[in-house]
Amino acid sequence: MGIARTSSAVWTGTSVHSRIQGAAGVIILNTWHHYSIKTRVTTMASAVMALVCASATLLLLLAAPQPPLYASAAVLAGLIGGSLLLITATALGTYWMMGKTLQPVRAISGKLATIRPSNLSERVPLPRHDDEFKELAQTTNQTLERAQTAIQEQLRFASDASHDLRNPLAAIHAEIEDALMQPEETDWVGTGDRLLESVERLQDLVTNLLEISRLDAGIIGQHDLLNLAVLVDGELDHRQRDHRQSKIRVVRRFSSGVMVNGERIGLERLLQNLMDNAERHARSTVTVTVEHRGDAAVLEVHDDGCGVPPEQREVVFQRFVRLQDARAKDAGGSGLGLPIARQIAEAHGGTLAIEDSPSGARFVARFPRPVALPASSR
């Protein structure tokens, strides 16, 4: 407020003439910025040439030739006419040259104006010369390619999500329709159980879709220094209480002092998805390992099931992709658990991959170790 009052006082104290000059300067500057680059460069070049001509004339006058230049009307007219001709030639030449120079920009902007989401496969023309305009066109085409890829992925994702959402809705509709056709003979308890199963499947799918949306948007929670072994141990205890009827034995192999910078909820979700997948395919045992390997903190989940063929180890991390064995073991899965787990690992600066093992599938998540560790572990 003090600065504003001081500025107001200074402005009020200035003369009317000075204020008019300042306002005129602002108006001229704003008007100047509204002209095209070609017009501004042409004007500047003409002004420079006019200054050169005026300076040359002044030097001739200061040289005091005999007789003086202004004594001869023909010489003076020639000098003025030559200067005007030179200035005009400079303006026209600059205007033409700038037009040719900016022609690639007009071609790029004209092509961009015609590109719509329906024709993102089109690209802007590349100038012939290797200059900044060609670099601009190449960068524009790369941006268009990324936009096209992103839209295609979104369309494919929306189609897959719609298909998976339609299945449980269709099951719910069929159950209700069958029950209402013969209400006296309907087992309402059994129908309720089947409806609840479809609703839970629908709820899990919606939860996964929301998680993917959050990860795609780059929304990351607060990262804290966490003891990975303690976090994994606590989550496994929680799962054991919730899955008391499970026949799968979980073996824990933890090293002490394995620290990571991460979001607790995200890391817990990653472990849940890996454990859900491992328990679905394991014959009898799932081994969970937390340890240091080189400069990485490693979380490994290894089941003793049939494993994943090498050529399909990347396929399982694609959204809505489920191998035939997975469909046979659990028809209600969505194919989103492993893609979400990988995205969470990558959001933490780490990786998630399937590595070689004598039997079963071995999922290995690697996270960068913190640069500096405090004296006490959380």
pLDDT band at 375 (very low <50, low <70, confident <90, very high): very low
Percent above pLDDT 70 for the chain: 82
For 60-95, write each residue's pLDDT tens digit: 667 666 666 555 677 667 777 887 888 888 888 888
Q: Where are the beta strands (DSSP E) in the chain?
A: 224-227, 249-254, 259-262, 285-293, 296-303, 351-355, 362-368
Hey, what's the torsion of the CAs at 44, 50, 54, 59, to 10 degrees?
A: 80
Across-strand partners of 130? none
CB 303 within 8 A of CB 236: no
Q: So what's the pLDDT on residue 240?
A: 86
CA dist 371 and 165 (Å) reads 44
Q: Is the pLDDT of residue 300 over 60?
A: yes
For 97-127, write each residue's pLDDT tens digit: 888 888 888 888 888 888 887 788 888 888 8
What is the arithmetic mean of pLDDT over 145-152?
85
What is the arithmetic mean of pLDDT over 260-275?
93
For 123-137, write each residue's pLDDT tens digit: 888 888 888 888 888
Provide the residue type at 241 as one letter. Answer: R
Strand, coil or helix: 218: coil
Residues 6 or more apart whose Cβ sits within 8 Å of residue 272: 235, 239
Q: So what's the pLDDT on residue 19?
A: 59
Q: Is the pLDDT of residue 346 over 90?
A: yes
CA dist 290 and 345 (Å) reads 15
DSSP secondary structure string, 60-81?
HHHT--SS-GGG-HHHHHHHHH
CA dist 355 and 310 (Å) reads 9
For 194-231, write each residue's pLDDT tens digit: 888 888 888 888 888 888 888 887 777 888 999 999 99
- Name the average pLDDT for the chain: 81
More confident residue, 160 or 92: 92
Q: So what's the pLDDT on residue 298?
A: 96
CA dist 252 and 258 (Å) reads 14
pLDDT band at 376 (very low <50, low <70, confident <90, very high): very low
Q: Is the pLDDT of residue 30 over 80?
A: no
**What domains are defined for the chain?**
134-216 (1.10.287.130), 224-368 (3.30.565.10)
List the single range of 50-64, 193-207, 289-303 with lowest mean pLDDT: 50-64
